[in-house]
């Protein structure tokens, strides 16, 4: 009779307890160098502990600003909405002397990932981790207003000073840096070393905000922010003896193990400018990936326009934008995707989570004018970025122009099945390269609710296209190798 009951109601139980121990370690960088207002590099040789390296470790770092002056109304901070992640440029992971994972422009990629986190979690958790300030409110007039920055006694304070012991600190999870850690844990008992390398972006105009209350002028000599004390918070797992021995026998034996994992490859291109108004433009970007398995791709579009709010952690919308992806000589969509709502819908399907945007920024296009009350402005003129106190007239003047940060990334999911974010859920590309087709039209009164034919909206855009493809990690005879799938 008991066997006829559903399994959840049966009383017989099986004890599958296995003893597992987790050891946490804070590891300082083996080497760290910095070139003023240019770049930096950190290198970590991970300690040998336990059976495997857990994927939930974190990279932690601080900022230091040598030009900080207590008596001066001059503030330097990490980006308001995305915090200090923009300072991470590239990252590499080596296992046993083999390059397992490399992601370029990874800070901009993490900024995209963070936009899929619910607003409450962004404000209460993410702001503290990456030193951002994503809070906004709706005014009595129905406009969006970013909240004033925190002061130095509150969580979320982003002002950078010259005291390393009491300064802005940021952290990101290792599986955000290295996609391979989303699919597997790395064995920590191999003869070869596990090495993590981080390339830092030290270019001030790409990573930081500046403010000068009271008209105190900024000069290049003041723009000297440095990444200090990079370190890793690592978790090592020691498995039960029988499990650890079986794992070692497989990896050290002739049979070995093959583990599929995802890798993010960055393809850079340029979307050519359009010389005149009332002109349609179409451009095909050949991505390649012939005979590869591809899971998804994201596309970021950045104009040459300086954006004081987001710098490069953004994706600018195009006038009357359309997209299409050609795979195996077929259109992936039955028609060009040209509605903004569709683009965000496909972006959410790619990330498998909705994209959380600042209210009112859904369909913003073009440059913001000097008129802070213009209809295309997302933020009202009382916004304070990145002032530590109430906005002043000088503060407003320095940030209201070109403040709007667009978040119109493109996302395309090539998985055969939705809601299965695994390397097995990918599409095999044939002999023909994948082609991303981007169209735009500068005709006035087009489909966009707000059309702005400024020089910037017709200009060229840099494209960062992250393609998530599949590789195989092969562990055999104690050696490590990789192969494209």
What's the pLDDT tens digit per position in 314-356?
888 887 889 999 999 899 988 888 888 888 899 999 998 888 8
Given this model, what pLDDT does residue 376 score? 33
Give the pLDDT score at 326: 92
- pLDDT band at residue 159 using 50, 70 and 90 as cut-offs: confident
Per residue in 362-421, pLDDT (tens digit) is: 655 544 433 333 333 344 334 433 333 333 444 333 333 344 446 789 999 998 877 778
What residues does each domain of the chain span? Answer: 22-252, 257-367+402-485
Q: What is the mean pLDDT of residues 201-221?
A: 77
What does the angle CA 259 – CA 103 – CA 48 come to, to the nearest 5 degrees?
A: 60
The pLDDT value given to residue 324: 92
Q: What is the DSSP letter of 374?
A: S
257-367+402-485 has which CATH code?
2.60.120.730
pTM passes above 0.85: no
Residue where the block lists tokens 């290792």 = 174
Residues 106 and 48: their CA atoms lie apart, in Å, by 27
Cα–Cα distance, 174 to 183 (Å, whole number) = 12
Segment 301-314 mean pLDDT: 80
pLDDT at 392: 42
- Return the H-helix or E-strand segment holding 127: helix 127-130
Q: How far apart are CA 346 and CA 348, in angstroms?
A: 5
Q: Which DSSP string corresponds to 171-224?
A: EEEHHHH-GGGGT-PEES-SSSPEEEEEEEE--HHHHEEEEEGGGPPP-GGG--
Task: Give me the chain's average pLDDT, please.
Answer: 79
For residues 424 and 298, the answer to whether their CB atoms sit within 8 Å is no
Share of the chain above pLDDT 70, in %: 78
- Residue 289 reports pLDDT greater than 70: yes
Cβ count within 10 A of residue 150 = 17
pLDDT band at 469 (very low <50, low <70, confident <90, very high): very high
**CATH topology classification for 22-252:** Adenovirus Type 2 Hexon; domain 4 (2.70.9)
pLDDT-based confidence at residue 143 (cuts at 50, 70, 90)? low
Res. 10: pLDDT tops 70: no
Q: Of the given ranges (131-135, 165-169, 293-297, 398-402), which has the lowest mean pLDDT?
A: 398-402
Strand partners, 198: 42, 91
| Structure confidence by residue, pLDDT tens digits, 227-237 | 999 999 999 88
Q: Flag whether pLDDT at 434 surpasses 80.
A: yes
> What are the pLDDT digits (tens) for 115-130?
999 989 998 899 889 9
- Pairing type for strands 461-476 and 293-303 reads antiparallel
């Amino acid at each position: 009779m008991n066997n006829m009951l559903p399994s959840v109601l049966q009383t017989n139980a099986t004890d599958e307890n296995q003893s597992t121990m987790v050891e946490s370690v804070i590891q300082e960088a083996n080497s760290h160098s910095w070139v003023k207002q240019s770049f930096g590099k950190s290198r970590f040789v991970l300690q040998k502990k336990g059976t495997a390296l857990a994927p939930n470790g974190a990279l932690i770092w601080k900022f230091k600003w040598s030009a900080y002056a207590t008596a001066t109304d001059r503030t330097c901070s990490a980006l308001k909405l995305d915090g200090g992640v923009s300072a991470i440029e590239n990252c590499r992971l080596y296992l046993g002397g083999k390059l397992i994972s490399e992601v370029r422009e990874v800070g901009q990629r993490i900024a995209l990932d963070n936009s899929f986190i619910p607003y409450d979690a962004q404000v209460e958790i993410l702001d503290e981790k990456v030193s951002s300030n994503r809070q906004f409110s709706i005014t009595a007039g129905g406009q969006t207003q970013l909240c004033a920055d925190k002061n130095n006694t509150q969580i979320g304070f982003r002002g950078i000073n010259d005291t390393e012991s009491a300064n802005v600190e940021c952290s990101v999870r290792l599986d955000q840096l290295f996609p391979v850690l989303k699919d597997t844990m790395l064995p920590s008992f191999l003869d070869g070393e596990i090495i993590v390398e981080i390339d830092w972006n030290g270019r001030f105009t790409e990573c930081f905000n500046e403010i000068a209350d009271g008209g105190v002028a900024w000069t290049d000599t003041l723009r000297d922010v440095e990444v200090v004390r990079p370190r890793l918070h690592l978790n090592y797992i020691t498995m039960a003896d029988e499990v650890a021995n079986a794992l070692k026998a497989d990896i050290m034996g002739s049979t070995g193990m093959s583990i599929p994992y995802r890798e993010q490859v960055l393809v850079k291109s340029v979307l050519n400018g359009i010389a005149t108004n009332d002109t349609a433009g179409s451009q095909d970007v050949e991505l390649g990936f012939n005979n590869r398995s591809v899971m998804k791709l994201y596309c970021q579009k950045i104009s040459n326009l300086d954006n004081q709010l987001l710098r490069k952690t953004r994706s600018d919308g195009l006038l009357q934008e359309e997209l299409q992806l050609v795979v195996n000589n077929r259109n992936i969509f039955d028609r060009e995707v040209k509605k903004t709502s569709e683009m965000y819908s496909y972006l959410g399907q790619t990330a498998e989570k909705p994209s959380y945007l600042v209210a009112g920024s859904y369909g913003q296009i073009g440059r913001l004018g000097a008129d802070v009350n213009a209809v295309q402005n997302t933020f009202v003129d009382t916004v304070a970025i990145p002032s530590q106190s109430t906005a002043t007239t000088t503060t407003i003047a320095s940030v209201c122009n070109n403040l709007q940060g667009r978040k119109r990334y493109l996302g395309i999911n090539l998985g055969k099945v939705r809601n299965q974010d695994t390397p097995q859920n990918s599409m095999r590309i044939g002999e023909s390269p994948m082609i991303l087709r981007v169209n735009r039209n500068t005709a006035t009164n087009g489909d966009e609710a707000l059309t702005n034919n400024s020089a910037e909206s017709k200009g060229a855009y840099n494209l960062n296209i992250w393609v998530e493809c599949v590789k195989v990690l092969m562990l055999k005879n104690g050696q490590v190798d990789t192969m494209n799938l």
